[in-house]
Amino acid sequence: MLSGLYPDSEIAIVSRHSSHKNVKYKTIDEVEDLRKYDYYVIASETSLHEEQLRKIDEVARGKKILVEKPLFARPGKFRPVNNVVFVGYNLRYHPLVEYVRNISSKVISVSVFTGQYLPNWRPGSDYSKSYSASIEQGGGVLLDLSHEIDYIQNLFGNLLVTGAVGGKISDLRIVTEDYASFVGVVGGRTKISITVEYLSRIPIRAMHVNTVDGTYIADFIQGTMKIKTEGMQEMEELQMGCKRNYTYSRMHRDIIEGEGSVACSYEQGCSVLEVVSRIKNLMGWSEHGK
């Protein structure tokens, strides 16, 4: 994607796989002059994020680093000191999220439901051998689908989770949690409920927002916003879908060309991990499974 956005830039990819034309190194230790780049993207397995971020932060100065979500597999003590770090929660740039951000009425409740059958996520690969199936690699539905926690906090403020249920409830060949449902509050009053799961054979990603004078239903799969507010005789439906790479390109441009004003900051990425940790504790789910 970056080569398409910035065709005249020097781009070097570090990957064990050599299928991409820009792959120059197999490991980060092979990079000849790691400090010479202006923008770094860490898109490896979650379990490797912290180690790779440390290495870049040790040598680079005053650069921008984007870490694919989630930031780490669990909350940690490491804090970058030499560079500005962002986390790749690209749903912040989705037109539906931006629409909700601009709702002027007081929000009183938000319900989110996101689910997709894990074996269908990556056609042609064995889901049971994916990072999603592995605790050691940072898998599990709470981290995989942590977009929902991030955009709720981005839109409405820090989420205090007050109750949660979930764990491994299906016969999927994984050891990570495949279902989590939790409730909480933001801003002291607004009620939040979120369900994320690996089980739904009908993909769903939706947000239901109630305000003091209306209801808004964002359907990320269909790309629609349904609206019914006080005084409206009929429900209105807006088409607000976007192409797959739209949110990613906007995120990269925001960080590279601007100050990353919409992007998830390092601190906000850490906050998501703290929320996930609290949910797991309330579920009675440990880092080694239940």
Q: For 25-47, what is each residue's pLDDT tens digit?
A: 888 888 888 999 999 999 999 99
Looking at residue 100, its pLDDT comes to 98
Distances (CA, A) of 237 to 108, 111, 244: 21, 19, 21
Distances (CA, A) of 256 to 55, 160, 241: 21, 32, 25
Residue 141 · residue 180 · CB < 8 Å:
yes
Query: In 3D, which of 90, 93, 33 has the Cα closest to residue 63?
Result: 33
140: which DSSP letter?
Answer: S
Looking at residue 288, its pLDDT comes to 59
- Peptide bond preceding 70 in cis form (omega within 30 of 0): yes
Residue 241 · residue 222 · CB < 8 Å:
yes
Looking at residue 3, its pLDDT comes to 83
pTM for the structure as a whole: 0.94
Flag residues of the chain having pLDDT under 50: none
Looking at residue 120, its pLDDT comes to 96
Query: In 3D, which of 281, 187, 252 has the Cα closest to residue 38?
Result: 252
In a 3-state reduction of DSSP, which class is residue 227? strand
In a 3-state reduction of DSSP, which class is residue 170? coil
DSSP per-residue codes, 60-120: --S-EEEEESSS-SS--S----SSEEEEE-GGGGSHHHHHHHT--SPEEEEEEEEE--GGG
Mean pLDDT for the chain? 95
Could you give the domains of the chain? 2-89 (no CATH), 91-241+266-283 (3.30.360.10)
- Region of 35 please: left (phi>0), alpha (psi -120 to 50) or beta: alpha
**In which order are the strands placed within the sheet that holds 224-229?**
159-167, 179-186, 190-197, 107-115, 204-211, 214-219, 224-229, 236-239
The C-alpha angle 198, 194, 238, rounded to 5 degrees, equals 95
Looking at residue 26, its pLDDT comes to 86
Sign of CA dihedral 247, 249, 126, 166: negative
Looking at residue 23, its pLDDT comes to 75
Q: Alpha helices, DSSP H only, in the chain?
A: 2-5, 49-59, 95-101, 141-144, 147-156, 246-257, 266-283
What CA–CA distance (Å, rounded) separates 52 from 29?
A: 10
Q: In a 10 Å sphere around its CB, with 0-12 CB exposed, 13-18 middle and 19+ buried, how is residue 38 labelled?
A: exposed
What CA–CA distance (Å, rounded) separates 213 from 225?
A: 16
Looking at residue 289, its pLDDT comes to 61
